[in-house]
Amino acid sequence: MAASSEDQILEGFLCPICKADLKSASQLTSHFESLHQEEQDVLKSLKEIFGKAKKIILNDDTDLKETFDKALKFNSQDQEYYCEEQSVGVSRSSTDYFRAVRSARLERYATETNKLLIRLDKLVCNMPTDQNLRKQHEQIIVPWLDGTLVKLCPNCAKTFNITRRKHHCRLCGSLLCHDCSVFLDLNVARSIVDPSVSNTSTEPDQENLEKNGLRLCEHCYNLIELRKQVQESRNAKTVLVTAYEQMRSLMEQARPAVAMYEKMCQSLFDGETTYHLGDVNAMRGKIGKLAEGIDLLSKQIVNFSAEPGTRQARLQTAIRQAAALYIKEDLLSLRKLPTEAQIEEVRRQRYERAERQIQLERRRMEAEVARQPPAEPPEPPEPRAPAAGDDDNNPLLEQMNIIRGYIKEARRELKFEEVAILETNLKELKKEYQLLKLSKS
Amino acid sequence: MATNRSGTAQRPNGAPQTKVCQFKLVLLGESAVGKSSLVLRFVKGQFHEYQESTIGAAFLTQTVCLDDTTVKFEIWDTAGQERYHSLAPMYYRGAQAAIVVYDITNQDTFGRAKNWVKELQRQASPSIVIALAGNKSDLAAKRMVEFEEAQAYADENGLLFMETSAKTAMNVNDIFLAIANKLPKSESAGGAAAGGRRLADGDAPRSSSCCK
């Protein structure tokens, strides 16, 4: 074939000598070797060019890495060369330029990833289980590229044929061969679009994954994978955070416990019989246990390795100090319990006071009754009170026993607020029962 | 210095932002209308097809969170059987709320519920919040009490009204929440509650003096 006219630009695998279009690299090489052997050095350079181009196209990592390594070595040698003192010359900040370039790139990746995520969401929600329906569903959401004119896999440049079929990336719709496809497990996909769905499934085997997973091109897969990693790192709790949360929850428990203890203690000092000394001691023990737990956790937190002087180290020390202070001020400064003798004394005094009060009331009432003519008192709310004679069968007695059972249970579970409520009720019941007996006798 | 700062910063952070109110609530109604089932559903989220009949009065607690308040219910589930009716006044006295329950498939229980409402209006604290619950709404096919009839009665008497089903959990949490919403939750609510109880204690001797 003769050389064409000057203005026409030829393209393809052209022989540098005779300008023939050879259609493929291998054909060109063999053509050159057979016809233009005399120009050996040209051939050598040509081979090199093709080799490099091939490597770049195929992303041959090992070679690239070597090149890089060489370059880096060269750099370090350079540094040694320039190690003598040197003043900073004229400089120009490229930060703004760098930022502009970077933000444009970030923007591009972010928008692309978001687009893919939206598609992924549409794909995985309401995905039909039937293979044919699923194919339709997938094509409605992402239109597939028409592959009739595509002869080679755009990724690996191998020709499509009966054994190397054309496939489509489910997220961008582009063509690729099976070897270049990556598969995304459906459960993983669901957990990406909806973080509330935890991905608990075990690693699926390759065969299953290829059957059920989403076929993606490497580019889309990497973008999705990156987003997944960011998501995971954001949600992951470090050991430190877990320990801190545990400590906080213990503190939350301690607060009402201390309040309850104070109340119970006060009640004892006031000579009330709602709580026993044993109850209050049990409560004290509970608070002690909580304090121990908080102490232990805060020690754990401060012992986590951190570079001294960093913010994390400061934070850890601060947590420990705060916990220690909290334990010292709030949990260990509890009021001392009264002794049995003290309680007895207080109760006796109270009883006497109550007696006097009752005497006073009674005298006052008598005086009032003497002054006023007996008026019809309002109907009491107990008109249905059954006979108190059959003691075994009295619902009041029955109820008292029920309440006693409840009190025992609440005591065992250290629920002293409930104990107080139930004790009050038991007292009411006892009073009611006595009144009933009095009215009958 | 650092110690102090972190120490004091801890407390405002940790201090509960919400106030806690405690209310006494009593359930009343004819036997076998589903009082215990309603409470069991509300407190434990359970339902037993063959719930045993209550003896005396059962006591349970449950806490619900409203926007800025934690409401702790002290629930007294009274027995519906006639022989325990003498206990009921002890429990509705000093209660801040009451749920009167009837069975929508049984007209008699609705009549009994009306009586309970009347008794509460006469004897209980004047500020008591009363809710009327038409239970067993899952059995609507066998309905004997019309929704409109009960609604009209509730409106007339200023009661909260809902048809509930302990079996399907329909409106169970809702009715308790509606009550919690209607209860006064001022800072003094706790004090008022205690006051209510004390007032009840004062009531008792008065009734005794008339009995003598």
Tokens matching residue B43: 């407190």
Q: Check B210 against A377: CB less than 8 A apart.
A: yes
- Across residues B15-33, what is the average pLDDT? 84
Mean per-residue pLDDT over chain B, rounded: 82
Amino acid letter, residue A435: L
B2 contact residues in A (CB cutoff 8 A): 314, 317-318, 321
- Does the structure show a pLDDT above 80 at B46? yes
- Across residues B32-40, what is the average pLDDT? 94
pLDDT given at position B96: 94
Tokens matching residue A281: 């001691």
A382 contact residues in B (CB cutoff 8 A): 86, 89, 207, 211
Which DSSP state fits A415?
A: -
Annotate A180-201 with DSSP letters as a single string.
G-EEE-HHHHHHHH-TTS---P
- Does the structure show a pLDDT above 50 at B11? no
Residue with tokens 């619900």: B64
Alpha carbons A359 and A322: distance in angstroms, whole number: 55
- Does the structure show a pLDDT above 70 at B2? no
Using one digit for the tens of pLDDT, what is the confidence trace for B64-111? 988 888 899 999 999 999 888 888 998 998 899 999 999 999 999 999
Would you call A385 an interface residue with chain B, using a CB distance cutoff of 8 Å?
Answer: yes
Alpha-carbon gap: B105 to the closest alpha carbon of chain A (Å):
27
- b/e per residue B139-153 (b: at least 16 CB within 10 A): eeeeeebeeeebbeb
pLDDT given at position A348: 86
Alpha carbons A293 and A354: distance in angstroms, whole number: 44
Alpha carbons A13 and A52: distance in angstroms, whole number: 15
Would you call A321 an interface residue with chain B, using a CB distance cutoff of 8 Å?
Answer: yes
Alpha carbons A257 and A306: distance in angstroms, whole number: 34
A318 contact residues in B (CB cutoff 8 A): 2-3, 6
Alpha carbons A70 and A77: distance in angstroms, whole number: 11
Q: Check B84 against A395: CB less than 8 A apart.
A: yes
* Interface pTM, i.e. ipTM: 0.76
Using one digit for the tens of pLDDT, what is the confidence trace for A323-341? 999 988 888 888 788 788 8
Least Cα distance to B73 among B38, B49, B113, B46 occurs for B38
Alpha-carbon gap: B140 to the closest alpha carbon of chain A (Å):
34
- Does the structure show a pLDDT above 50 at B6? no
Which DSSP state fits A237?
A: P
B212 contact residues in A (CB cutoff 8 A): 438-439
Tokens matching residue A302: 């401060």
pLDDT given at position B58: 92
- Across residues B153-181, what is the average pLDDT? 94
pLDDT given at position A38: 62
Which DSSP state fits A14?
A: B
Do residues B21 and B73 touch, judged by C-beta distance below 8 A? no
Q: Check A322 against B9: CB less than 8 A apart.
A: yes
Amino acid letter, residue A62: T
Query: In the 3-class helix/strand/coil scheme, how is A50-76 assigned residue by residue?
Result: HHHHHHHHCCCHHHHHHHHHHHHHHHH
If you measure CA to CA, which chain A residue comes closest to B14? A252
C-alpha distances (whole Å) from A297 to each of A246, A301, A308, A315, B11 are 8, 6, 20, 14, 18
Do residues A180 and A160 touch, judged by C-beta distance below 8 A? no
Least Cα distance to A247 among A138, A324, A186 occurs for A324
Using one digit for the tens of pLDDT, what is the confidence trace for A35-59? 776 666 666 666 677 776 666 666 6
Burial class (CB in 10 A: 0-12, 13-18, 19+), A169: buried
pLDDT given at position A91: 84
pLDDT given at position A211: 76
Alpha carbons A156 and A218: distance in angstroms, whole number: 12
Do residues B141 and B104 touch, judged by C-beta distance below 8 A? no
Query: Which among B2, B83, B90 has CB closest to A386?
Result: B83
Tokens matching residue A303: 């012992």
pLDDT given at position A388: 43
Query: Which among B56, B93, B211 has CB closest to A439?
Result: B211
To probe the interface with B, which of A260, A321, A379, A393 has the most B CB atoms within 10 Å?
A321
Phi-psi region of B100 (alpha: psi -120 to 50; beta: other; left: phi over 0): beta
Domains assigned to chain A: 2-78 (no CATH), 101-235 (3.30.40.10), 239-331 (1.20.58), 394-441 (4.10.860)
Give me the residues of chain A with pLDDT under 70, please: 1-8, 37-47, 52-84, 197-204, 372-393
pLDDT given at position A55: 65
